[in-house]
């Protein structure tokens, strides 16, 4: 593979659409670096600019200004080679219903100029769990199978980077988990992965680094761990043996009691859980079980988007 640090490097990218005499800034001074070998999440509400950026990478939309490199190749200087470096899995199920998976992959490989002896059609179909359906018409496949077929099509030319636009949209929980495992496997073999998703659990499960965009601009770009630490509030619940009058020291933690369960909230950056447990013990408040809950990526995403002017 080419010697480069970032699979995607975009600097000050702008894209303006003219619609009914109105100018829409789909991307505004957009900057992103996607590290080689990583799984990178691109998150944002509808209309944030995610699909516009992906379409620019795929050559379907032309940017107005800025520079973009794909796997070290400047797309303005060598668009053909840059496009060969990536495989894009679109959100739409754009599959010809009258072709079989085998025929579709063979056709795709031919479009990329891959010789017959170098094609890996059956290997790829096996990897995405479609080998048994290789000779079935695409119209007979389930929605989940068609989604996997899109992934297979994007892999025929062995790209250095895979871009997944809502890869598990409309897919059941079991298949979603299988696709997650396959994405991790592809990444472990050296392929950089960038995914957009509305399932924030998906981003939290898969991504090492996450870029959150809104209104065409990057509002946060960081590691998943750092993003999760943005909200430092933590919740702890105790199943009490008996309910007693709460000591004054606990009221700083916004206590709530429902049946025999005491729930407290605290700032993990300032207060340790041991301090709360010590307060309970010193006041002879015994508990049978304790559970803690931390903020997830959905909480962080909601906070950042809300603070950017979206409610």
DSSP string, 186-252: HHHTT-EEEEE-S-HHHHHHH-SEEEEEETTEEEEEEEHHHHHTS--EEEEEEEESS--PPPGGGGG
- Is the pLDDT at 311 greater than 60? The verdict is no
- Residue 268: band (very low, low, confident or very high) from pLDDT cuts 50, 70, 90: confident
Tell me which DSSP letter residue 292 carries.
E
**Which segment of 108-122, 164-178, 213-227 scores lowest on mean pLDDT?**
164-178
**Which segment of 61-70, 201-210, 225-234, 254-263 scores lowest on mean pLDDT?**
225-234
Minimal CA–CA distance to 167: which of 110, 93, 107, 265? 93
- Is the pLDDT at 175 greater than 90? The verdict is no
Q: How far is CA 244 from CA 119, 185, 252, 279, in A?
A: 71, 52, 17, 13
Average pLDDT over residues 273-300: 88
Give the bridge partners for 257, in sequence order: 262
- Is the pLDDT at 27 greater than 80? The verdict is yes
The model's pTM is 0.79
Mean pLDDT of the chain: 90
Give the bridge partners for 18, in sequence order: 23
Task: Give the residue with greater pLDDT, 263 vs 148.
Answer: 263
Instruction: Report pLDDT digits (tens) over 158-168.
Output: 999 999 998 87
Cβ partners under 8 Å of residue 44, min gap 6? 50, 196, 212, 213, 214, 305
- Cα dihedral: 77, 39, 219, 24 (round 10): 50
Structure tokens at 174: 């079991």
Task: Give the residue with greater pLDDT, 106 vs 21.
Answer: 106
Average pLDDT over residues 145-165: 92
Q: Distance between CA atoms of 301 and 23, rounded to whole angstroms?
A: 27
Percent of the chain with pLDDT over 90: 63
Task: Give the residue with greater pLDDT, 296 vs 222.
Answer: 222
> How far from chain centre, in Å, is Cα 4?
23
Residue 62, classified by CB atoms within 10 Å of its CB into exposed (0-12), middle (13-18) or buried (19+), is exposed
Task: Give the residue with greater pLDDT, 263 vs 94.
Answer: 263
| Total residue length of the chain | 311
Q: Distance between CA atoms of 285 and 240, rounded to whole angstroms?
A: 7
Structure tokens at 65: 């200004």
Q: Residue 2's pLDDT is what?
A: 54
Strands of the sheet containing 6-19, edge to edge, are 22-35, 6-19, 65-70, 73-74
Q: Are β-strands 256-258 and 39-43 bridged in parallel, bridged antiparallel, or unpaired?
A: unpaired
Phi and psi dihedrals of 221, rounded to 5? -140, 115
- Is the pLDDT at 138 greater than 70? The verdict is yes
- Residue 1: band (very low, low, confident or very high) from pLDDT cuts 50, 70, 90: very low
Q: Distance between CA atoms of 215 and 145, rounded to whole angstroms?
A: 33
- Is the pLDDT at 66 greater than 70? The verdict is yes
> How far from chain centre, in Å, is Cα 113?
31
Q: How far is CA 205 from CA 84, 225, 276, in A?
A: 28, 12, 30
Average pLDDT over residues 96-114: 94
Domains defined for the chain, CATH in brackets:
1-85+160-165+190-231+297-311 (3.40.50.300), 233-294 (3.30.70)
Task: Give the residue with greater pLDDT, 292 vs 6.
Answer: 6
Cβ partners under 8 Å of residue 113, min gap 6? none
Q: Residue 131's pLDDT is what?
A: 94
């Amino acid at each position: 593979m080419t010697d480069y640090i970032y699979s995607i490097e975009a600097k000050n990218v702008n894209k303006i659409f003219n619609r009914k005499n109105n100018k829409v800034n789909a991307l505004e001074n957009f900057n992103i670096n996607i590290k080689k070998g990583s799984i990178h999440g691109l998150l944002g509400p509808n209309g944030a600019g995610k699909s516009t950026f992906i379409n620019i990478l795929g050559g379907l939309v032309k940017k107005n200004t800025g520079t973009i490199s794909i796997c070290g190749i400047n797309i303005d200087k060598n668009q053909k080679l840059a496009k060969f470096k990536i495989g894009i899995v679109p959100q739409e199920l754009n599959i010809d219903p009258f072709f079989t998976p085998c025929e579709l992959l063979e056709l795709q490989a031919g479009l990329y100029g891959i010789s017959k002896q170098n094609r890996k059609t059956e290997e790829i179909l096996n990897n995405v769990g479609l080998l048994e359906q290789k000779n079935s018409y695409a119209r007979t496949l389930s929605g989940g199978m068609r989604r996997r077929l899109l992934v297979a099509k994007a892999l025929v030319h062995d790209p250095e980077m895979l871009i997944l636009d809502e890869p598990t949209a409309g897919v059941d929980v079991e298949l979603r988990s299988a696709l997650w495992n396959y994405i991790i496997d592809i990444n472990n073999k050296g392929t950089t992965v960038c995914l957009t998703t509305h399932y924030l659990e998906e981003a939290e499960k898969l991504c090492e680094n996450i870029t959150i965009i809104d209104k065409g601009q990057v509002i946060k770009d960081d590691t998943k761990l750092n993003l999760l630490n943005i909200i430092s509030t933590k919740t702890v619940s105790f199943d009490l043996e008996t309910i007693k009058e709460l000591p004054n020291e606990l009221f700083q933690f916004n206590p709530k009691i429902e049946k025999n369960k005491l729930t407290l909230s605290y700032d993990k950056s300032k207060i340790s859980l041991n301090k709360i447990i010590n307060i309970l013990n010193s006041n002879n408040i015994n508990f049978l079980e304790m559970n803690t809950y931390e903020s997830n990526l959905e909480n962080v995403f909601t906070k950042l988007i809300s603070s950017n002017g979206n409610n």
